[in-house]
Amino acid sequence: MRTRKSIPLLMGLLLTLTSCALGGGERGPEPLTPMPSEVPTGPEYASVDEVIAALAKGGFDCKVTLRNENQFGSDATCEVQHRATTVVNEISVLSTSRYSRDEIGDSIATGRRAYRHTIVAAGNWFIWVRPGAYAHDMAKALPGAVVLEPLVEK
């Protein structure tokens, strides 16, 4: 009996999903936001550990508070003590075999536009620096890095 009662529910759900797909037109996925032209193609890093090592070489001892690694890349959150402030760096390194430059650019654009993040970027990696006022200091420590200010739509 239970099966008979669930069939109309499943059919209704199927019809709703189908009508949403058919009624939505041919919009498809949104186009990617390309990597900003001022972001250099290198250096590329294999993991967040390489970015953290580059920060250390540039004078910033970054204490890792969170780390994640998988086949698509790696990310970490680390803190730096700088000018009597704790600067939080959320680092993302994306696999170049999995993600194109425009896909990485699209991720950066989302953070800059939707969340008003100040980003330090180069190659296949980017860092959300908080507070953003210290992004230029972090960029100076990283070879080739540039600062991307938040995007504010008018």
pLDDT digits (tens, 9 = 90+) for 85-142: 999 999 999 999 999 999 999 999 999 999 999 999 999 999 999 999 999 999 999 9
Sign of CA dihedral 38, 87, 98, 112: negative
Tokens of 140: 């100076």
- Name 130's bridge partners: 88
pTM of the model: 0.80
Q: How far apart are CA 136 and CA 54, in angstroms?
A: 15
